[in-house]
Amino acid sequence: AKSDLNSLSKVDSGSVRKMLENDGESLPLLNFLSEYSIPSVVIPFLPLTRDHIRSCINAELRRSGATMSGSEVNRLLNELHFFSKDLPIFGKTGCKQVATKVALALSRLSEL
């Protein structure tokens, strides 16, 4: 089913709903709500890639007024958890842990 979507930029509630309908699949809650004429929207949440999380790290560095080299950012990325085992490109927690990791990394750098 996911192969029907040519790119992530095309993922929206309409395309997800259409994909599910074309595959003969449905979301039980969506069906229940539509039976009672309750409007609903499917909002797809996709996992963040390493590049997305790198952007979060850079944004956190800007917020804190600090800088890190590219190798330091890569080291920080390697401390975060990614999946799958074969191709670990998607972040398990997205950007949730980035602020804490950046603060810890900056404190380690200042100790040097």
Q: What span, in angstroms and rounded, lies between the C-alpha atoms of 59 and 98?
A: 10
User: Is residue 109 over pLDDT 90?
Assistant: no
Least confident of 33-37, 41-45, 61-65, 87-91: 41-45
Backbone angles phi and psi of 72, in degrees to 5: -70, -40
pLDDT digits (tens, 9 = 90+) for 54-97: 999 999 999 999 999 999 999 999 999 999 888 888 999 999 99
Q: What span, in angstroms and rounded, lies between the C-alpha atoms of 51 and 48?
A: 8
Mean pLDDT of the chain: 82
